[in-house]
């Protein structure tokens, strides 16, 4: 492995973030970028029509290589795993054709439920995590609206081999060449939890109140729940010895202000009648809280409320209620 930028990249999952990353990378190295999609019809559409990026009212088109068959892509230097947390378990085995011992896989999921799933999986290559506050909104297959610049942190899940470190530096170089702000962290877990605390405070509440992020600050009841949910999750992080940044409530409120007009990813999921990431966010905090004997009644309330919303539209197979409720 080397610290030169990777030459071949596969982006797995053409959701909002996957499409945004594909467009920014296409701008610098179009022919080496593949999109892998489990949905063969949509993959054919993306291969035929390409991707559309809307940014500040300007529209740009990008040609892309897209497929539902990982064998067509073959081994790549870098895999960007952008599927939502609930789909991770079924996606990982399909990535085998993409990975060699020299590949680097970066997982971009929200929440913390992906961490044990990734740790369990024995894949070739090095396993890394990416935590980003880039904003993106999908407005059609392969059509993404840029939702705001934000920093991205990269790091390894667990101990990295000395050979894997240059590959992470190489990936960071590639993203910087594409114009992203990227930091490589010696320990990525605090960043994972800093973002988790923000999602704990915003995502479920925007789905429940069906409002934009900024509107949470206008409703006294919602703001009270936001504070309580974030403080519960912060107690869990502290009990686990994770060095989260100070004042997570103030940071969550600042994100509500900075993204005031955004529709959160969870409200987008509820509107599109998709499975949400509630289990990976408030559900995962609740599970850790129960394990550690910490009270988390507000996270329990938010978890149950979003599960009730999902129950209204998901097929029975997706209604997974953890034993704890």
Which residues are at the interface with ligand PAF (CB under 6 A)?
110, 198-199, 202-203, 213, 255, 259, 262, 264-265
- Of 33 and 244, the one with the shorter C-beta distance to ligand PAF is 244
- Of 103 and 203, the one with the shorter C-beta distance to ligand PAF is 203
Q: Which of 226, 224, 228, 241 is nearest to 288 (CA)?
A: 241
Shortest distance in whole angstroms from residue 10 CB to ligand PAF: 23
- Of 67 and 264, the one with the shorter C-beta distance to ligand PAF is 264
DSSP-derived secondary structure for 237-254? HHHTT--PPS-HHHHHHH
Q: What is the DSSP letter of 135?
A: E
Told to judge if 219 belongs to the known catalytic residues of this protein, a careful annotator would answer no
Rounded CA separation 182/113 (Å) = 23
Residues 6+ apart with CB under 8 A from 59: 52, 53
- Of 103 and 262, the one with the shorter C-beta distance to ligand PAF is 262
Six token digits for residue 159:
């101990």
Q: Which of 266, 132, 249 is nearest to 191 (CA)?
A: 132
Rounded CA separation 255/258 (Å) = 5
Q: 145 has which bridge partners?
A: 54, 137
- Of 213 and 299, the one with the shorter C-beta distance to ligand PAF is 213
Shortest distance in whole angstroms from residue 198 CB to ligand PAF: 5
Shortest distance in whole angstroms from residue 227 CB to ligand PAF: 16
Residues 6+ apart with CB under 8 A from 277: 84, 85, 86, 109, 110, 111, 113, 199, 203, 265, 266, 269
Residues 6+ apart with CB under 8 A from 261: 212, 213, 214
Shortest distance in whole angstroms from residue 203 CB to ligand PAF: 5
Q: Which of 195, 238, 240, 307 is catalytic?
A: 195
Shortest distance in whole angstroms from residue 151 CB to ligand PAF: 12
Question: Per residue, what are the HEC states of 149-163?
Answer: CCCEEEEECCCCCCC
Active-site amino acid positions: 195
């Amino acid at each position: 492995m080397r610290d030169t930028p990777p030459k071949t990249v596969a982006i797995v999952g053409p959701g909002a973030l996957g499409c945004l990353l594909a467009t920014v990378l296409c701008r610098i190295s179009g022919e080496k970028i593949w999109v892998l999609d489990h949905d063969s019809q949509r993959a054919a559409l993306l291969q035929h029509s390409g991707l559309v990026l809307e940014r500040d009212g300007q529209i740009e088109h990008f040609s892309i290589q897209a497929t539902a068959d990982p064998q067509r892509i073959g081994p790549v230097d870098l895999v960007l795993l952008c599927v939502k947390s609930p789909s991770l378990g079924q996606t990982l085995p399909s990535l085998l054709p993409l990975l060699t011992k020299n590949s680097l896989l970066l997982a971009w999921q929200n929440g913390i439920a992906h961490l044990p799933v990734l740790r369990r999986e024995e894949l070739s290559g090095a396993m890394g995590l990416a935590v980003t506050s880039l904003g993106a909104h999908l407005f059609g297959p392969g059509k993404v609206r840029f939702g705001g610049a934000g920093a991205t942190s990269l790091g390894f899940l667990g101990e990295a081999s000395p050979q894997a470190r240059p590959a992470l530096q190489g990936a960071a170089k590639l993203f910087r060449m594409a114009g992203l702000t990227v930091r490589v962290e010696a320990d990525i877990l605090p960043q994972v939890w800093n973002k988790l605390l923000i999602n704990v405070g915003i995502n479920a509440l925007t789905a429940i109140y069906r409002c934009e992020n900024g509107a949470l600050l206008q409703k006294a009841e919602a703001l009270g729940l936001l504070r309580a949910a974030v403080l519960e999750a912060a107690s869990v992080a502290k009990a686990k010895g994770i060095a989260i940044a100070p004042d997570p409530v103030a940071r969550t409120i600042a994100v509500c202000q900075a993204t005031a007009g955004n529709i959160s990813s969870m409200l987008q999921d509820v509107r599109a009648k998709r499975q949400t990431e509630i289990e990976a966010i408030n559900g995962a905090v609740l599970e850790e809280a129960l394990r550690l004997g910490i009270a988390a009644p507000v996270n329990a309330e938010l978890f149950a409320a979003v599960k009730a919303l999902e129950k209204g539209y998901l097929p029975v197979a997706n209604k997974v209620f953890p034993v704890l409720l």
